[in-house]
Amino acid sequence: MMFSLRQLAIIPLSLSLIACTASAADDSTDSVLATFKSKFPQHEVTSVQAAPVAGLYEVVVKMKRGAREEYTIVYADAKVEHLLTGDLIDTATRNSITEGRLEQLNQVKFDFNALPLDKAIKEVRGKGERKLAVFSDPDCPFCKRLEQDTLAKLDNVTIYTFLYPLAQLHPDAPRKSEQIWCSKDRTATWTGVMRNGLKLPAGKANCATPLAELAALGEKLGVGGTPALFLANGKMISGAVPVETIEAAFRAK
């Protein structure tokens, strides 16, 4: 029997929804754990608990994402004869219980001030009191959408952009990243490219860049795609999210 443990997106969800998965586990959890391990020894199971659906169990599996460990969830019946992957939805709230648990399990813990901020493109909007780090690719259409529809609308924020070209998707992105970094005004060049459609000249830039170091940093933090955003409170947000999502994340403790 073969199955694939699908990587699920991590999005904000209230603690009340996270808590709803904490139903009391019965003695069957040990049996589910043992059976799951016997059937799928290649997967490292970190916990089993009763799901908020009668007869269903939440199985948490540890996986590797780059240099970082990450957790995913699969649901099983008591005898592990059937498995479910995907989102368990609370119909009352229309929210995903699964995503809430994944956010809790995969919360990135890091010191924002320990990031190599001197290797980022810095943009200060308003007083710049709020901090946001963004891993971004100059050829990523979702990164451009984030810049135009979200970041350009934020106020009282300091945005640190780490150049993170994904060459396997955008072969010319590393060259463009080098040109942006080596430009006289990195911030103006970056915003010109991402928000105003500025075209960079042909050819390579001739200066030292931090791209290799930033690639290693992104792998360590589990950045698998762009854009990826990190807030000073340790929250990670993936994708071209609307400005309301960023504002809500800034307000969260």
The Cα 136–Cα 228 span in angstroms is 7
pLDDT reported for residue 109: 66
Task: Name the CATH superfamily for 112-251.
Answer: Glutaredoxin (3.40.30.10)
The Cα 67–Cα 194 span in angstroms is 29
Cite the residue boundaries of each domain of the chain with CATH code 3.40.30.10. Answer: 112-251
List CB contacts of 131: < 8 A, sequence separation 6 or more: 112, 157, 158, 160, 231, 232
The Cα 49–Cα 55 span in angstroms is 11
Give residue-wise pLDDT tens across range 1-60: 334 443 333 323 322 222 222 333 446 899 999 999 999 999 999 999 999 999 999 999
pLDDT reported for residue 111: 82
Give residue-wise pLDDT tens across range 216-253: 999 888 888 999 999 988 788 889 999 999 999 998 86
pLDDT reported for residue 202: 85
Virtual torsion, Cα 222, 5, 168, 209, nearest 10 deg: 0
Give residue-wise pLDDT tens across range 221-230: 888 899 999 9
Give residue-wise pLDDT tens across range 163-213: 999 999 999 999 999 999 999 999 999 999 999 999 998 888 889 999 999
Give residue-wise pLDDT tens across range 139-149: 999 999 999 99
pLDDT reported for residue 168: 92
pLDDT reported for residue 15: 26
